[in-house]
């Protein structure tokens, strides 16, 4: 074989390099957002008896809700019960707008508030499964404002009432797991020690009109002290708003678009939004207040002020529409939320469309706050009935649930393969326990 000349050798090396580069490029996965499949499959329905439920016993839900409406404690409501992947009971009661005498319909839209939190947690787990972070990673890796946090001393709940005074350095960073489990040291505006500071700093919570973006607010939140050392206690908080911003940072996508593209469209949730489009505004159920001395009244036009906590009912309709609260901002229908619940019950998949793995659902629905809550468990974005002592009423160990500020609630029960959803629009609700009654009345209807 002849020896190659210098120019020939250079050309050969360049050609081989191009071939290797092209092959390597074809074999290496590209860092881009997955394009999810969309399910347009209709919701399956059936008679109660076909899934081991009693029609007659389910009528107890009708009577209980209607009695509460007749007593003028709530204007209207929707109840849904599904078992073995099929809706066996879906009924609307009363009025969606009492003043306009508009009957409640099963497709009315509700402010679901904190029932946004489970969706945000699933969004975080989707990114986790793509390898963007570990759950024990400091959130400051992505939101640097959370570096070098300060903590109240003495911490809450040892000192539950005194205003912030002495501060100490956080002895560990806030992790993504802390945020998912509400153990980060954050709180809400009603907290007696930090509520005033939250209010003065203009920290939003999703239940009123907010200017700017969730990123603006989360960065301001990071400048305020923590209630306690991260991981030391449980406090219901703005953690999911921080997680919503984390989703934006990691995905490079606004939270509303991430939800629409990665969760709502794939699951067929066609009526779930932070801010309602104009053609769906008329389907939003009116919100009401109940005070014993005043009775049931339509929610006022002006925000309600309770100390440092200020909230309204018109936030899905007005304002700049740029503030996407991962902890409380969504509106939805009973059927849409059922699709999300059925996905969770089916180990992360609905009608052939998978959002998260079975292993992630298992992790989400375990109790992660042992020793921090006595009478309840909490997973990653859901309350969990992890042991018998968590069940003070009818239910199953292993079920998981949550509710919303404006009187909505759901429970998912893997043991009974059942989902129950209640939707109302009421706050404050006084001593009314209709939401919890509805969830338990679904259980007493099981006959198999």
Lowest mean pLDDT among 36-50, 85-99, 428-442: 36-50
The whole-number pLDDT of residue 34 equals 57
Residue 288, helix vs strand vs coil? strand
Looking at every residue in the chain, the average pLDDT score rounds to 91
More confident residue, 180 or 202: 180
Contact present, 338 and 87 (Cβ < 8 Å): yes
pLDDT over 70, % of the chain: 91
What's the CATH superfamily of 48-120+268-294+316-443?
DD-peptidase/beta-lactamase superfamily (3.40.710.10)
Select the highest-mean-pLDDT range: 32-41, 45-54, 149-158, 366-375.
45-54
Q: Looking at residues 5-25, what average pLDDT do you find?
A: 37
Whether 420 shows a pLDDT value over 90: the answer reads: yes
The whole-number pLDDT of residue 41 equals 78
Whether 272 shows a pLDDT value over 90: the answer reads: yes
Whether 291 shows a pLDDT value over 70: the answer reads: yes
Angle between helices 214-221 and 239-251 (to 10 degrees): 120
The whole-number pLDDT of residue 28 equals 32
- Across 371-405, b (16+ Cβ under 10 Å) vs e yields ebeeebbbbbbbbbbbeeebeeeebebbbbbbbbb
Lowest mean pLDDT among 4-8, 42-46, 77-81, 172-176: 4-8
The whole-number pLDDT of residue 9 equals 37
The whole-number pLDDT of residue 16 equals 35
Lowest mean pLDDT among 68-77, 331-340, 383-392: 383-392
How is the chain split into domains, by residue range? 48-120+268-294+316-443
Give residue 308's pLDDT band: very low, low, confident or very high (50, 70, 90).
Answer: confident
Q: Looking at residues 34-60, what average pLDDT do you find?
A: 86
Whether 143 shows a pLDDT value over 90: the answer reads: yes
Q: Which two tokens stand for residue 132?
A: 């963007």
Task: Give the integer Cα–Cα distance in Å for 233 and 368.
Answer: 11
pLDDT in tens, 189-213: 999 999 999 999 989 888 887 778 9
Give residue 23's pLDDT band: very low, low, confident or very high (50, 70, 90).
Answer: very low
Handedness of CA 393, 394, 396, 402 (dihedral sign): negative
Q: Which two tokens stand for residue 234?
A: 């449980």
Whether 32 shows a pLDDT value over 70: the answer reads: no
Whether 79 shows a pLDDT value over 60: the answer reads: yes
Whether 22 shows a pLDDT value over 80: the answer reads: no
Whether 26 shows a pLDDT value over 80: the answer reads: no
Rg over alpha carbons for the chain, rounded to the nearest Å, is 25
The answer to whether the pTM exceeds 0.85 is yes
More confident residue, 132 or 212: 132
The whole-number pLDDT of residue 206 equals 82
More confident residue, 98 or 30: 98
């Amino acid at each position: 074989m002849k020896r190659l000349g210098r120019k020939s050798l250079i050309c050969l090396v360049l050609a081989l390099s191009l071939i290797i580069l092209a092959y390597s490029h074809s074999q290496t996965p590209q860092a881009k957002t997955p394009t999810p499949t969309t399910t347009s499959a209709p919701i399956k329905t059936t008679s109660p008896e076909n899934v081991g439920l009693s029609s007659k016993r389910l009528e107890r839900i009708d009577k209980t809700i209607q009695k509460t409406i007749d007593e003028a404690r709530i204007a209207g409501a929707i109840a849904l019960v599904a078992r073995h992947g099929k809706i066996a009971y879906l009924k609307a009661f009363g009025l969606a707008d009492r003043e306009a005498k508009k009957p409640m319909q099963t497709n009315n839209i509700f402010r679901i508030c904190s029932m946004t939190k489970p969706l945000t947690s699933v969004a975080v787990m989707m990114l986790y499964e793509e390898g963007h972070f570990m759950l024990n990673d400091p959130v400051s890796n992505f939101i640097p404002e959370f570096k070098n946090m300060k903590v109240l001393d003495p911490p809450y709940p040892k000192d539950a009432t005194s205003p912030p005074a002495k501060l100490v350095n956080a002895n560990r960073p806030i992790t993504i797991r802390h945020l998912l489990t509400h153990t980060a040291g954050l709180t809400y505006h009603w907290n007696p020690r930090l509520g005033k500071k939250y209010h003065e700093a203009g920290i939003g919570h999703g239940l009123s009109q907010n200017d700017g973006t969730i990123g603006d607010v989360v960065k301001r939140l990071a400048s305020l002290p923590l209630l306690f050392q991260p991981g030391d206690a449980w406090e219901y908080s703005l953690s999911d708003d921080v997680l919503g911003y984390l989703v934006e940072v990691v995905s490079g996508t606004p939270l509303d678009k991430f939800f629409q593209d990665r969760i709502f469209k794939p699951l067929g949730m066609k009526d779930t939004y932070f801010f309602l489009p104009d053609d769906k505004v008329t389907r939003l159920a009116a919100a009401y207040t109940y005070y014993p001395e005043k009775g049931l009244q339509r929610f006022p036009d002006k925000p309600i002020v309770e100390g440092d906590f200020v909230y309204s009912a018109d936030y899905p309709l007005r304002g700049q529409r740029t503030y996407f609260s991962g902890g409380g901002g969504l509106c939805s229908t009973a059927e849409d939320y059922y699709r999300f619940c059925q996905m969770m019950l089916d180990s992360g998949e609905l009608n052939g469309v998978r959002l998260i793995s079975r292993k992630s659902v298992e992790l989400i629905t375990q109790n992660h706050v042992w020793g921090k809550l006595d009478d309840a468990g909490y997973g990653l974005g859901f309350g969990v009935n992890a042991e018998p002592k968590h069940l003070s009423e009818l239910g199953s160990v292993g079920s998981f649930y949550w509710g919303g500020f404006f009187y909505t609630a759901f429970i998912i029960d893997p043991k009974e393969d059942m989902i129950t959803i209640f939707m109302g629009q009421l706050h404050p609700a006084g001593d009314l326990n209709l939401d919890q009654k509805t969830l338990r009345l679904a259980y007493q209807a099981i006959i198999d």
